């Protein structure tokens, strides 16, 4: 007996008939060839979230972002006109990486008035214009106006900065995020400026980690020991059911119950949680800011009393969790090969007013880390066996795993569409098109 | 840190654990996994009953302008959060089933 109502079709999955209910293959997660296709079909032409506007606090603030999957590195910078722009991080003289410090593969950030190449000292302004050429008179008819930094499409949505590496792209970031994105507009993201950010190198295909965070079916089992014993037995016997799922285009969301912040019965939670008043679902005391009582329609879409957290999977690699007590967690998955990726988990809180609030946030952050360490290790084990290509190559997915079915279907569709388009347009024309 | 960090006089019983006054989560976690369960347990047993008092002490001052001793006490309280997992849940310093995976703080608040 389901505890929460499912759609009339009898299941969430069948509510979206194009998904089917058949067992699925993870062939999209175990080969270098498929990953090469994803780089061009997905990462090279989809809006990617690379940060938040708060990272660019002042005019001249910049950061770099390594986008290995899209075969580039970008500079994101706030200009003197306050506009946020992005450029390929490559010097127009002889191709040196323009902005980096100490280690060319590491990301960096800072504040500056211009970017100076370490190699021969060419300088670029914040709008990408070439302003200085060392020994300019030695060049042949060099017009500096022809050598601005190569710009990258860049848009800000609700304070989140997105880039798109496809110069022929005509869709805005907001359109790309679709109905699920629109439903979040107005949420007080800008108040949540207290940031804790984690990074991990994970030995699995990027999609497998999204899979792990896009279902809570595993939670009562894999994370059993994280709850007090009685509670854990109870959670396992209930299993997991979401309040609601929603799909729109390649994006998906799951709305989940909470009830743990604060818990109905304090003995359900660990001693530290009782004293610090915080835990996995976040600090129990909601911060005192506007915008948390009247939530935008996309948050807790079922308007359920038991609501605790919504998880959004924005295609391709950006997840956002909005927690009832008023904080936000984002996940990013940056592929570095078919079986490795860099995972970033970032917690956003309203700045604490005192030590009590600071510790409540610390406990939420550390709890997230303890869970993620368990999640991350399981993935290597999964990747290893999927890659072994044992005779087992079709795997069932239940109704609570609908977002996984949908993610892999969305990836396959993007790759397929790209292949069809490439077949129609010979490679040479495509390059010409890129240049225009 | 070669000198023992100063902590507020009212918390003299925490002096043996002053080494936990570490400013970052990464350092606190590293100290946790380098400790024995006995060490973690005695730190927890000493501070946990006084946690509310410690918070009340720190909250006499504005969070963005803490005197050094109160700041150290706050870091020690953060360390208690880190140590609560092995003591209350895992019964071992590392997260079970976490193998070689690592998860590093790359950005966190100054205090
Ligand atoms: S490569 Fe940048 S100045 Fe020569
Ligand atoms: Fe998990």
- Tens digits of per-residue pLDDT, A349-376? 999 999 999 999 999 999 999 989 888 8
Whether residues A94 and A196 share a domain: the answer is: no
pLDDT for A276: 96
pLDDT for A258: 84
Ligand 1 pocket mutation pick from A88, A122, A124, A144 by most atoms within 8 angstroms of CB: A122
Q: Which residue has the tokens 């997660």?
A: A29
Q: Is A137 part of a structural domain of the chain?
A: yes
Q: Is A422 part of a structural domain of the chain?
A: no
Question: Mean pLDDT throughout A31-57?
Answer: 98
The ipTM estimated for the assembled molecules is 0.97
Ligand 1 pocket mutation pick from A93, A97, A138 by most atoms within 8 angstroms of CB: A93
Listed by start position, the domains of chain B span 36-93
Write the burial class of residue A291 (CB in 10 Å: 0-12 exposed, 13-18 middle, 19+ buried): middle
- Pocket around ligand 1: residues whose beta carbon is below 6 Å from it? A 91, 93-94, 96, 117, 119-122
Whether residues A84 and A152 share a domain: the answer is: yes
pLDDT for A427: 59
Give the Cα separation of B22 and B79 in Å (integer): 8
- Tens digits of per-residue pLDDT, A237-274? 878 899 999 999 999 999 999 877 788 888 889 999 99
Of all residues in chain A, what percent carry a pLDDT higher than 90? 83
Beta bridge partners of A49: A162
Centre of ligand 2 to C-alpha A215, Å, is 8
| ω into B2 cis (within 30 of 0) | no
The overall average pLDDT reported for chain B is 94
- Tens digits of per-residue pLDDT, A112-162? 999 999 999 999 999 999 999 999 999 999 999 999 999 999 999 999 999
pLDDT for A431: 54
Q: For the whole model, what pTM was predicted?
A: 0.95
Q: Is A358 part of a structural domain of the chain?
A: yes
Report DSSP state, residue B31.
H
Q: Is A162 part of a structural domain of the chain?
A: yes
Whether residues A255 and A365 share a domain: the answer is: yes
Whether residues A164 and A242 share a domain: the answer is: no
The CATH number linked to A252 is 3.90.380.10
B-chain residues within 8 Å CB-CB of A272? 48, 80-81, 84, 88
- Tens digits of per-residue pLDDT, A64-108? 999 999 999 999 999 999 999 999 999 999 999 999 999 999 999
CA distances from A391 to A25, A384, A385, A386, B102 (A): 12, 14, 11, 10, 32
pLDDT for A432: 54
Count of domains for chain A: 2
Tokens of A322: 């909005």
Q: Is A99 part of a structural domain of the chain?
A: yes
- Tens digits of per-residue pLDDT, A199-246? 999 999 999 999 999 998 888 888 877 777 777 787 778 788 999 999
pLDDT for A343: 96
Write the burial class of residue A74 (CB in 10 Å: 0-12 exposed, 13-18 middle, 19+ buried): buried
Whether residues A248 and A117 share a domain: the answer is: no
Residue A223: alpha-carbon gap to chain centroid: 23
- Tens digits of per-residue pLDDT, B92-101? 999 888 877 7
Whether residues A109 and A257 share a domain: the answer is: no
pLDDT for A428: 55
pLDDT for A260: 75
> Is the CB of residue A272 less than 8 Å away from at least one CB of chain B?
yes
Q: Which residue has the tokens 């967690």?
A: A329
Written as one string, the DSSP assignment of A202-243 is ESS-HHHHHHHHS--TTHHHHTGGGS-HHHHHHHHHH----S
Specify the ligand 1 atom closest to the Cα of A91. Answer: 2
Is the pLDDT confidence value at A378 over 90?
no
Q: Is A75 part of a structural domain of the chain?
A: yes
pLDDT band at B27 (very low <50, low <70, confident <90, very high): very high
pLDDT for A309: 95
Residues 6+ apart with CB under 8 A from A265: none
Written as one string, the DSSP assignment of A298-355 is TSSTT--TTEEEEEEEETTTEEEEEETTTEEEEEEEEEEETTEEEEEEEEEEPPPSSH
pLDDT for A436: 45
The interaxial angle of helices A355-387 and B25-33, nearest 10 deg, is 60
Residue numbers of the domain that contains A194: 12-25+183-416
pLDDT band at A35 (very low <50, low <70, confident <90, very high): very high
Give the Cα separation of A325 and A195 in Å (integer): 16
Q: What is the 3-state secondary structure (H, E, C) of A100-155?
A: CCCCCCCCCEEECCEEECCCCCCEEECCCCEEECCCHHHCCCCCHHHHCCCEEEEE
Beta bridge partners of A271: none
A113 in Cβ contact with A82 (< 8 Å) = no
Is the pLDDT confidence value at B106 over 90?
yes
Whether residues A140 and A278 share a domain: the answer is: no
CA atoms within 13 A on the CB side of A412: 13
How far away is chain A from the Cα of B72, in angstroms, using its nearest Cα? 12
Whether residues A279 and A350 share a domain: the answer is: yes
Centre of ligand 1 to C-alpha A103, Å, is 17
End-to-end CA distance of chain B: 17
Whether residues A88 and A235 share a domain: the answer is: no
Question: Given its phi and psi angles, is residue B24 left (phi above 0), alpha (psi -120 to 50 degrees) or beta?
Answer: beta
How far away is chain A from the Cα of B111, in angstroms, using its nearest Cα? 9
Tokens of A6: 């499912």
Q: Is A113 part of a structural domain of the chain?
A: yes
Query: What is the edge-to-edge ordering of all strands in the sheet holding A123-125?
Result: A114-116, A123-125, A130-132
Whether residues A318 and A344 share a domain: the answer is: yes
The overall average pLDDT reported for chain A is 94
- Tens digits of per-residue pLDDT, A379-434? 988 999 999 988 888 999 999 999 999 999 999 999 999 999 999 876 555 555 55
Tokens of A394: 């079709």
Question: Given its phi and psi angles, is residue B109 left (phi above 0), alpha (psi -120 to 50 degrees) or beta?
Answer: beta
How far away is chain B from the Cα of A352, in angstroms, using its nearest Cα? 8
pLDDT for A426: 65
The CATH number linked to A148 is 2.102.10.10
Whether residues A350 and A235 share a domain: the answer is: yes
pLDDT band at A300 (very low <50, low <70, confident <90, very high): very high
The Cα angle at residue A149 between residues A148 and A155, in degrees rounded to 5: 120
Domain boundary among A175, A192, A222: A175
Whether residues A115 and A247 share a domain: the answer is: no
Give the Cα separation of B3 and A44 in Å (integer): 52
Q: Is A421 part of a structural domain of the chain?
A: no
Q: Which residue has the tokens 């495509």?
A: A430
Q: What's the sign of the alpha-carbon dihedral A98, A103, A105, A106? A: negative
- Tens digits of per-residue pLDDT, A165-202? 999 999 999 999 999 999 999 999 999 999 999 999 99
Residue B91: alpha-carbon gap to chain centroid: 18
pLDDT for A253: 98
Give the Cα separation of B88 and A228 in Å (integer): 9
């Amino acid at each position: 007996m389901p505890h929460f109502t499912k759609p009339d079709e009898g299941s969430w999955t069948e509510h979206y008939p194009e998904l089917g209910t058949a067992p699925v293959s993870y062939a999209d997660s175990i080969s270098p060839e498929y990953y090469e296709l994803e780089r061009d079909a997905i990462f090279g032409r989809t809006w990617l979230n690379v940060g938040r506007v708060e990272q660019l606090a002042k005019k001249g603030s910049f950061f770099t972002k390594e986008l290995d999957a899209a075969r580039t590195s970008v500079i994101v910078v706030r200009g003197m006109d306050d506009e946020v722009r992005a450029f390929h991080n490559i010097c127009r003289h002889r191709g040196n990486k323009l902005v980096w410090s100490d280690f060319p593969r590491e990301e960096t950030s800072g504040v500056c008035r211009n970017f100076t190449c370490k190699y021969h000292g060419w300088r670029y302004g914040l709008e990408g214009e070439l302003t200085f050429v060392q020994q300019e008179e030695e060049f042949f008819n060099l017009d500096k106006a022809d050598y601005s930094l190569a710009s990258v499409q860049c848009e800000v949505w609700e304070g989140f900065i997105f880039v798109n590496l496809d110069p022929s792209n005509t869709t805005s970031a907001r359109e790309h995020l679709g109905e699920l994105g629109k439903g979040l507009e107005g949420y007080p993201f800008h108040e949540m400026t207290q940031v804790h950010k984690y990074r991990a190198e994970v030995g699995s295909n990027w999609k497998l980690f999204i899979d792990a965070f896009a279902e809570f079916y595993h939670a009562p089992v894999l994370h059993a020991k994280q709850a007090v014993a009685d509670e854990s037995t109870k959670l396992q016997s209930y299993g997991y059911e979401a309040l609601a799922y929603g799909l729109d285009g390649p994006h998906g969301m799951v709305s989940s119950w909470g009830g743990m912040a604060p818990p109905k019965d304090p003995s359900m939670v660990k001693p530290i949680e009782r004293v610090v008043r915080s835990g996995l679902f976040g600090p129990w005391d909601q911060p005192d800011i506007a915008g948390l009582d009247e939530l935008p329609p996309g948050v807790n879409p079922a308007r359920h009393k038991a609501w605790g957290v919504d998880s959004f999977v924005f295609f391709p690699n950006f997840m956002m969790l909005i927690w009832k007590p008023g904080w936000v967690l984002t996940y990013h998955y940056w592929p570095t090969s078919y079986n490795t990726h860099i995972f970033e988990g970032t917690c956003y809180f309203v700045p604490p007013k005192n030590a009590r609030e600071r510790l409540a946030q610390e406990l939420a952050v550390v709890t997230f880390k303890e869970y993620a360490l368990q999640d991350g290790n399981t993935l290597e084990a999964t990747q290893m066996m999927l890659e072994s290509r044992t005779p087992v190559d079709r795997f069932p997915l239940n109704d609570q795993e609908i977002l996984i079915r949908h993610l892999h279907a969305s990836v396959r569709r993007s790759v397929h569409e790209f292949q069809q388009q490439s077949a129609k347009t010979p490679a040479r024309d495509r390059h010409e098109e890129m240049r225009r | 840190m070669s000198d023992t960090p100063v902590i507020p006089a009212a918390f003299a019983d925490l002096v043996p654990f002053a080494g936990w006054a570490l400013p970052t989560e990464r350092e606190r976690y590293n100290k946790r996994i380098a400790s024995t369960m006995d060490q973690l347990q005695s730190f927890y047993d000493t501070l946990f009953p006084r946690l509310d008092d410690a918070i009340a002490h720190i909250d006499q001052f504005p969070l963005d302008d803490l005197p050094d001793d109160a700041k150290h006490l706050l870091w020690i309280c953060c360390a208690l959060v880190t140590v609560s997992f092995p003591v209350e849940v895992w019964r071992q310093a590392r997260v079970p089933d976490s193998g070689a995976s690592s998860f590093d703080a790359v950005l966190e608040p100054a205090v």
